[in-house]
Amino acid sequence: MDGAVVSHHRDDVLADELHRSGLPAVYVGRPFSDGHQVWYVDLDNTGGGRMAAEHLLRLGRRRIGTIAGPQDMSAGLDRLAGWAAALDEAGLATDAVAYADFTRAGGEDAATRLLAEHPDIDALFVASDLMAVGALSVLAGAGRLVPDDVAVVGYDNLGAAATTSPALTTIVNPVVAMARAAGEILIDLLAGKKIGPAPVIFAPELVIRLSA
């Protein structure tokens, strides 16, 4: 193997092992640890979390909860940080947080906890579309109308986002474009081009549908 495109974001030893091996590697997604200078391509997840929260604020929502992703992953940390920064700047509370694992079942469990602990929420930023699908199911079961009672914004713009009921407002995660960019960087590295490990960061984009 001459090189690798790596999709890996967790806090473990993989980045260290790749660094020691000397194998040319380009990450799709910011590595959790900043201990080594590496090449990576990512979405501005902090900006995406902020964009989602600011959209909900523009809709007049003031009790905005979030279902955050795993905190041993850079995407989970960054999306939560963007949401919190927007609410802090608006002078609003950031205590309505539940954590899950980027799965539908995780979203269901987290939404159930949030509604029990913070029944006054009027909006929800969910850090992945799969978790948002689970959250929508829980809200429907609790008799909460979306978006009338609780507006919901997801993250990723998966195909399922357009087919939920109601259709899910979400942040685009351009995984195909990011993978292509990572592959192009790796080809340059293998060709011997002298390029520094500067990250390539894609700007977030909001897709507005019916859920918020």
Q: Is 187 inside a domain boundary? A: yes
For the chain, the residue count is 212
Q: Give pLDDT, residue 98.
A: 99
Q: Is 211 inside a domain boundary? A: no
Of 1-15, 89-103, 111-125, the range with the lowest mean pLDDT is 1-15
Residues 72 and 89 in one domain: yes
Q: Is 50 inside a domain boundary? A: yes
**CATH code assigned at 180:** 3.40.50.2300
Q: Give pLDDT, residue 23.
A: 77
- pLDDT of 11 higher than 60: no
Average pLDDT on 37-50 reads: 93
| Intra-chain end-to-end CA distance of the chain, in Å | 46
Contact 161, 167 (CB under 8 A): yes
Share of the chain above pLDDT 70, in %: 90
Q: Give pLDDT, residue 24.
A: 77
Please give the residue range of the domain that contains residue 78.
45-172
Q: Is 126 inside a domain boundary? A: yes
Q: Is 212 inside a domain boundary? A: no
Share of the chain above pLDDT 90, in %: 74
Q: Give pLDDT, residue 9.
A: 61
- pLDDT of 154 higher than 90: yes
SS3 content of the chain, % helix, strand, coil (to 5): 40, 20, 40
Q: How many domains does the chain have?
A: 2
Q: What is the pLDDT of residues 18-30, one digit of tens each?
A: 666 667 788 888 8
Question: Rounded to 5 degrees, what angle do the CA atoms 64, 94, 167 make?
Answer: 25
**Residue, of 156 and 39, whose pLDDT is higher:** 156
Q: Is 106 inside a domain boundary? A: yes
